[in-house]
Amino acid sequence: MHQNHSELTSSSTDPIDDTAILFSKPFHAPREMANLQEVVRGDHAHGDGDFTRSATRRLTEITGAPAALLTTSGSHALELASRLLDLGPGDEVILPSFTFPSAANAIALTGATCVFVDVDMRHGNIDPQQVAEAITPRTRAISVVSYGGVAVDFEAITAIAEEHGLAIIEDNAHGLGGSYRGQALGTFGVVGVQSFHDTKNVHCGEGGAILINDVTLLDRAEIMREKGTNRARFLRGQIDKYTWVDIGSSYLLSEYNAAVLDSQLESFTGIQQKRHAIWDSYATRLPAWADGENVRLMDVPADRQHPAHLFFLQTPDHDYQVALLAHLRSLGVFATFHYIPLDSAPAGLRHGRRLRELTESQSFSDRLVRLPLWADMTQGQIDRVIEGVSSFHR
Ligand SMILES: *Cc1c(COP(=O)(O)O)cnc(C)c1O
């Protein structure tokens, strides 16, 4: 029932007054309107126009990925990833139980089986030890997400993938701008997936992208994104007619969305500076309270750069989480929890199996509190969140 999107910023029983601090608020970039007007007045509103080209270039510059294709959503980019790997019935993909349902849908839609494993309690990322234990002769891929943009232990995951000949699908919906040992997040999998949903650092309402790190997949990705046709090659003049050559769907982002996305990516540095300043305020002003309460604040190992996508705390137990969220809500501060473990969810039981009882994922989920974090928060709002949190005592 409860997931991470905007339904958590309000509920029918809590009227939101003007002073409430929402959990998330979409950023609006300076050039959005001008870009949109250009599309409205022009002759090209479908996908793969000038704004798509420009936004795609900005995305490959930020990530260093060899190629990228914009898609209608992050979820669709994950589906495209499954199709590119030819997943199907009998195949298994290992993924964390604590993640967004789209990662599991993308596997289940092909008829493949989700094999859920636990996350490590420090960062909420997939536990490499359990990945190694979950491998069977049917395993094809490992699907990972760097939770909150704090990198997965890619050294361990990459070693396991190489040893067993498995593909890594990197859900990088939280991680744009983050890195692991100097390498940009999104570039560790054969493909990396971005989301531009309006809860993400950079958005266009709904949208996504697939970063193609294994360039041997690029031709087929272009075809699958264009209804299974070789239209992209036709438009480049490489063939003289286009036809149906593979399975596919329509995953192109319209130029309206790409126009907004392009302006957001143009403002990326500024957006990130604002978000980091808020993140740093939480990280520097909450430790005294957290120590006294036995609460753990999000921490980032020295070999990882996070992109200030979210700021979380871990409470000592579930009752504390519920009480802290209620306290903050009474002050008009809309903090929230996050994913409900997928392995025990109704669809998780139908489309997957778990390595064993996943106690860490459950515990991580039961004790997680995320604080409001969006680029245009005022100093007064940041102070109110910090004072609200620090005024809570068991
Ligand atoms: C937002 C998100 C997605 C899905 O992206 P959409 O663009 O909303 O389809 C997938 N995975 C994670 C981890 C996300 O946060």
Nearby residues of 136 by Cβ (< 8 Å), 6 or more positions away: 92
Centroid of ligand 1 to alpha carbon of 190 (angstroms): 18
DSSP structural state of residue 126: B
Tell me, yes or no, whether 245 and 378 share the same domain: no
**pTM metric for this prediction:** 0.95
Atom of ligand 1 nearest to the CA of 207: 7
Cα of 173 to ligand 1 centre, how many Å? Answer: 6
Does ligand 1 come within 6 angstroms of the Cβ of 201?
A: no
pLDDT of residue 327: 98
- Ramachandran quadrant class, 292 (left: phi over 0; alpha: psi -120 to 50; beta: rest): alpha
Provide the percentage of residues in the chain whose pLDDT is more than 70: 96
- Counting other chains too, the contacts that 43-49 makes at CB distance below 8 Å and 24 or more residues apart are 44/255, 45/254, 45/255, 45/256, 46/252, 46/254, 46/255, 47/252, 47/253, 47/254, 47/255, 47/258, 48/232, 48/235, 48/252, 49/255, 49/258
Average pLDDT over residues 90-117: 98
Question: Do 287 and 255 fall within a single domain?
Answer: no
- 10 is a domain residue: no
136 within some domain:
yes
Mutate to test the pocket of ligand 1, among 7, 197, 342 (most ligand atoms within 8 A of CB): 197
Mean pLDDT over the full length of the chain: 95
pLDDT at position 18 is: 80
Residues 192 and 57 in one domain: yes
How close is the Cα of 385 to the center of ligand 1, in Å? 26
Structure confidence at residue 14 (pLDDT):
55
Do residue 227 and residue 282 come from a single domain? Answer: no
Q: Torsion over CA of 250, 253, 256 and 262, rounded to 10 degrees?
A: -170
Indicate whether 275 and 185 sit together in one domain: no
Looking at the structure, tell me whether residues 322 and 193 fall in a common domain.
Answer: no
Tell whether 159 is covered by a domain. yes
Q: Are residues 254 and 275 in the same domain?
A: no
12 band by pLDDT with thresholds 50, 70 and 90: very low
- Percent of the chain residues topping a pLDDT of 90: 94
23 located within any domain: no
Amino acid at 212: I
> How many CB atoms neighbour CB 278 within 10 A?
22
- CA 57-59-61 angle, to 5 degrees, is 70
Say whether pLDDT at 7 is over 50: no
Judgement on whether residues 344 and 254 belong to the same structural domain of the protein = no
CA 243/CA 250 separation, integer angstroms: 15
Question: Does a structural domain hold residue 26?
Answer: no
Asked whether 363 lines ligand 1 (CB < 6 A), one says: no
Per the structure, the count of domains in the chain is: 2
Residue with the smallest CA separation from ligand 1 atom 6 is: 74
Domain assignment present for residue 376? The answer is yes
* pLDDT higher than threshold 50 for residue 124: yes
Whole-number Å distance, alpha carbon 286 to ligand 1 midpoint, is: 29
The reply to whether 260 and 373 lie within a common domain is no
Q: Is ligand 1 within 6 A of the CB of residue 75? A: yes
Last residue of a domain, one of 248, 266, 284: 266
| Predicted confidence band of residue 16 (pLDDT cuts 50, 70, 90) | low
Is residue 24 domain-resident? no
Tokens of 95: 């993924």
Q: Say if ligand 1 is within 6 A of residue 171 CB.
A: yes
- Which of 266, 283, 304 is the C-terminal boundary of a domain? 266
- Whether residue 286 is found in the same domain as residue 256: no
Highest mean pLDDT among 53-57, 230-234, 352-356: 53-57
What is the structure's pLDDT at 161? Answer: 98
End-to-end, the C-alpha distance of the chain in Å comes to 28
Same domain for 56 and 142: yes
pLDDT at 6: 42
Q: Residue 17 has what pLDDT?
A: 74
- Can you spell out the DSSP letters for 293-352? HTPEEP---TTEE------EEE-SSHHHHHHHHHHHHHTTB--B--PPPSTTSHHHHHHE
pLDDT, tens digit (0-9, with 9 covering 90-100), for 323-381:
999 999 999 999 999 999 999 999 999 999 998 999 999 999 999 999 999 999 999 99
Domain carrying residue 65: 32-266
89 domain-assigned: yes
How remote is the CA of residue 222 from the centroid of ligand 1, in Å? Answer: 21
Last residue of a domain, one of 266, 284, 309: 266
pLDDT digits (tens, 9 = 90+) for 255-271: 999 999 999 999 999 99
- Angle, vertex CA 101, rays to CA 96 and CA 103, nearest 5: 60
Q: Tell me, yes or no, whether 296 and 376 share the same domain.
A: yes
Q: What is the CATH number of the domain that holds 220?
A: 3.40.640.10
Is the minimum distance from the CB of 104 to ligand 1 under 6 angstroms? no
CATH number at residue 283: 3.90.1150.10
- CA 199 – ligand 1 centroid, Å: 9
